[in-house]
Copies of this chain bind each other. A is one copy, B any other.
């Protein structure tokens, strides 16, 4: 029997407490599968007195994460505090500097400092594992970093925020407004009291930035992401999408293009018959398109104490099963010094289909005008729907919905600006991009 793998955990929130319980309750099973015992020897958390329903009596308590990382008798430092900077960052650096392996679920930390931390880990011969940082329990980091070795990835996209997917699913299934569904999500604990970070797309953007690096081998660039949240999505959009054979999901998409790598987070229409369109509620999904393997889609729980703890435990087990000493698995798929600079593709050069919903005054010739502006910009239309609430009152506002074939974002923006200039639009037009799985 090899020596026990000694673990120190910083942060005993939902995930940390789950992890302690699982490692303690399943000690025997873990010893068999990992070939050595996994033992928690050190912990730290903000509140020492709170009852977490776990037995910490045999575990050494440290006053801070930094102190634990610097001084505890451990092989692996597990960071479950969160936050891009402050104690999470300082303690992870301290641990890596000692040559300790690090496991973290902290997407903000990686999105901000991932490349530096990976370089430090590689310099010290340590592993930096972070499966739980993206899409919770879905092993997408392992798939990109290990299973897809040798593949050239063309696109990676996914539903990576359970809050948004819960709200969009509930709006569709129950015909409720965005606000009503957000309130319900908050009541159920699926959304924070201040939900902005989720519903504006920032959370998805952090995760996407990490996936982009693993998929395309560039340095992490979380600030260079085109970002649109879901607050603007109305029940009318969801209904119109359904009528046309689509569902609306908040997707993070990273894609190789001729001008660079696109990174974008926005509400997206996906064909209703696609597998990803069936991913409901808080469930996450990530699709990876590559040249040798083809398309791989993974669906699973994106959050929650247990699912996240499962991913953290998988990372710890990988360390337990590997030989001690210098490792060759590069945290970000290739050695940090070999990552390329990120070259951002111009969003106005994005090519894809678009859904455009406009409310217009019922004036003669409006429809022809709109069609004319589309034609002027060489935008070809897949479908056109014109609606009014009743057919009796011919002067009431009408809704016009256009779905375009693949076209360039710049053309769409130009056409929409021209239409806005005509003066017959009531309110802002709604523009939603369409994303299709590879045929």
A139/B147 in contact, CB under 8 A? yes
- Complex Cα spacing A325 to B322, Å: 11
Residues of B within 8 A of A338 (CB): 32
Q: Which of A252-310 contact B (CB under 8 A)?
A: 273-275, 277-279, 290, 292-301, 304, 306-307, 309-310
Is there contact, CB below 8 Å, between A310 and B150?
Answer: yes
A386 contacts chain B at the CB level, 8 A cutoff: no
- Chain B residues with Cβ below 8 Å from A105 are none
Let me know if A85 is at the binding interface, CB within 8 A: no
Q: Complex: how many Å from CA A273 to CA B280? A: 10
* Contact flags A18-59 to B (C-beta < 8 A → 1, else 0): 100011001001101111100000000000000000000000
Q: Quick check: B306 and A301 within 8 Å, CB to CB?
A: no
* B278 adjacent to A292 (CB under 8 Å): no
Tell whether A321 is near chain B: CB-to-CB under 8 Å: yes
Q: Does A397 contact B (CB under 8 A)?
A: no
The answer to whether B328 and A310 touch across the interface, beta carbons within 8 angstroms, is no
The distance in angstroms between the C-alpha atoms of A117 and B138, with both chains bound, is 30
A325 to B300, CA, bound (A): 35
The answer to whether A294 and B299 touch across the interface, beta carbons within 8 angstroms, is no
Residues in chain B near residue A138, CB distance under 8 A: 296
Among the stretches A60-68, A312-320, A359-367, A398-406, the one at the interface with B is: A312-320
| A186 interfacial contact with B, CB 8 Å | no
Q: Is A146 an interface residue (CB 8 A)?
A: yes
Please tell me if the beta carbons of A317 and B150 are within 8 angstroms of each other in the complex: yes
Verify if A311 is at the interface (C-beta below 8 Å from B): yes
The yes or no answer to A329 lying at the interface (CB within 8 A) is: yes
Number of interface residues of A (CB under 8 A): 65
Known: A32-B334, A328-B2. A292 touches B313 (CB 8 A): yes
From B300, B313, B335, A150 is in contact (CB under 8 Å) with B313
For A334, what are the chain B residues with a Cβ–Cβ distance below 8 Å?
Answer: 32-33
Report the nearest B residue to A323, measured CB to CB: B323
User: Which of the residues B146, B279, B292, B310 comes within 8 Å of A307, measured between beta carbons?
Assistant: B292
Whether A150 contacts B26 in the complex (CB less than 8 A), given A307-B293, A328-B323, A338-B32, comes out as: yes
B151 close to A310 (CB less than 8 A): yes
User: Whole-angstrom distance between the alpha carbons of A300 and B275 in the complex?
Assistant: 11
Which chain B residue shows the least CB distance to A272?
B278
In contact, B278 and A328 (Cβ under 8 angstroms) = no
Q: Is the CB of B275 within 8 A of A294?
A: no
A327 close to B318 (CB less than 8 A):
no
Tell me the complex Cα distance, A317–B30, Å.
25
Residue in B137, B274, B297 whose CB lies within 8 Å of A293 = B137
**A326 interface residue per 8 A CB criterion:** yes
Which one, B142, B277, B321, contacts A328 given CB within 8 A? B321
A17 to chain B minimum Cβ distance, whole angstroms, is 13
Residue A99 is within 8 A (CB to CB) of chain B in the complex = no
Known: A30-B150, A33-B330, A34-B149. Contact between A310 and B293, CB under 8 A? yes
Contacts of A279 in B (CB 8 A): 275
Closest to A23 in B: B150
Contact between chains at A328 and B320 (CB < 8 Å): yes
Q: Is A131 an interface residue (CB 8 A)?
A: yes
- Cβ of A84 within 8 Å of any chain B Cβ, yes or no, is no
Assuming A139-B139, A320-B328, A321-B328, what are 10 further A-B pairs, CB within 8 angstroms?
A: A2-B328, A26-B150, A147-B314, A292-B309, A293-B310, A294-B300, A296-B299, A297-B299, A322-B323, A323-B326
What 7 A-B pairs come out closest when comparing CB atoms? Answer: A149-B317, A139-B147, A293-B310, A35-B328, A296-B300, A292-B310, A297-B299
The interface of chain A, by Cβ under 8 A from chain B, is: 2, 18, 22-23, 26, 29-30, 32-36, 131, 137-139, 142-143, 146-151, 273-275, 277-279, 290, 292-301, 304, 306-307, 309-311, 313-314, 317-318, 320-323, 325-330, 333-335, 338
**What are 23 sample pairs from A and B whose C-beta atoms fall under 8 A apart?**
A18-B292, A22-B150, A29-B150, A33-B150, A33-B330, A33-B333, A33-B334, A34-B149, A35-B335, A137-B294, A137-B296, A139-B147, A146-B321, A147-B311, A147-B314, A151-B310, A293-B307, A296-B298, A298-B299, A320-B328, A321-B329, A322-B323, A323-B325
